[in-house]
Structure 1
Amino acid sequence: MRALVQRVSRASVTVEGEVIGEIGQGLLILVCAMQGDTAVQSEQLANKISKLRIFMDEAGKMNRSLKDIGGAALIVSQFTLAADTARGNRPGFSTAARPDDGERLYLDFSERVANLGIPVATGKFGADMAVDLINDGPVTIWMDTE
């Protein structure tokens, strides 16, 4: 699985003019299931992100995790993270999981993060979403289970 993790002061996702998920301080996690991914990759990614020390401690160093600060996660599916731009000017997405597998793994990942004691808000799989965020830092990290 692949994720783009952004440390945020706040974030929300809107579908058809309605806010369906929002958080305060925490992480916006854009996530994409890749071909061949299973629940094993979902679990690995959830565990890694929950322990990722990218929040400031008292000394101003990135030394605290999402769990340490009591933050939340806004998890949004984004198959475009599978973009292959090696040839031409139009990205290819053939390495992304099929939609049914992608949705299953997206929901599995969201549930695993929640089961780690992190409050979770989500987007809507396959929907046209507007994501609003204030990137804190900015801190943006690319993660891949490969």
Structure 2
Amino acid sequence: MSGENDLIKLYSGQILQLAASIPHTDRLTSPDASVKKRAPLCGSTVTVDLVVQDGCITQFGQDVKACALGQAAASVVGANMIGRTRTEVETARDALKVMLKQDGPTPAAPFDGLEVLRPARDYKNRHASILLALDATCEAIEQADQANCA
């Protein structure tokens, strides 16, 4: 029963509030790149559309079909994606992985709101869902950069 209580505590009010207020949920009509990622263990999916100009994300849209933890991560990510560079997005993704897998430091601002997901580090089966929004954004910005350079 203790494990079930721990899982209930994981879904804090702050996580549920973030999950209920995901920004940029409209898909873009003419994105530079669009990437859909799926967490194989739970089936959560996130699709990211973006437009990149001069190395920065200028438009961002996401379709999130994930658990509350994946939704909370997508909420923090979406709220901070406009104006970010590829390096900033990759750094945030890598920092989130280290925070979850090795109890590392919180990702730097503006992604420091991901700290709310630190309690999920003990639930390895939830990590892929939490990482979906950043994983999809990293792949999309890489594709957009390649398309813009071609």
The question of a shared fold, defined as TM-score above 0.5 by the shorter chain, is answered with no
Q: Which has the higher contact order (CA 8 A, sep 6+)?
A: 1
TM-score (norm 2): 0.29
TM-score (norm 1): 0.29
